[in-house]
Amino acid sequence: MHGPILAALTVLFALRVLGQALVAFFGVVWLPAMNQWFSGMIPYPALLVFQILMLILMIKISIDVWRACGIFGAPRRHWHNFLIKFSVAYAALMALRYGLTMILYPEMRWFSGTIPIFFHFVLAAFIYVIADYHRSQS
């Protein structure tokens, strides 16, 4: 069950990367504007490279977990504790970021500029599922 969930989360993240690239490079107007997709803390070309590398890693992890073999599919009980704490902390920080964004930028309520935050929750969920996989397999 972990493999399909990881694959679904990977597809969600891939759609985010694709959507942002369509807006950035092709000016697609039926998707949210570029300023809705990222905070601008990292220049977009560097961000895109990092996102593609993340997608490659997410695909590899998903395949390994789905097949229960490979470097990421081999059960490692000691990964569980670290990954569960990391995913919860990551999600909590994104919840804090969302709350602060809503307080500091009331014009953005409720869903304006929240695409990055939502997809950080997707990434936190991905890490949580990996943690649960290693807990259940050990």
Residue 108 has pLDDT above 90, yes or no: no
* Confidence bin at 110 (pLDDT 50/70/90): low
Range of the domain at 46: 2-137
Q: What is the pLDDT of residue 22?
A: 96
| Domain count along the chain | 1
Query: What's the Cα-to-Cα distance from 42 to each of 5, 117, 122, rounded to whole Å?
Result: 29, 15, 19
> Mean pLDDT, the chain, as a whole number?
90
Task: Write 84-88 long-range contacts (CB < 8 A, 24+).
Answer: 84/128, 84/131, 84/132, 84/135, 86/127, 87/124, 87/125, 87/127, 87/128, 87/131, 88/124, 88/128
pTM: 0.90
Backbone dihedral angles phi then psi of residue 26, each to the nearest 5 degrees? -120, 0
Which pLDDT tens digit goes with each residue over 16-46?
999 999 999 999 999 988 888 877 788 999 9
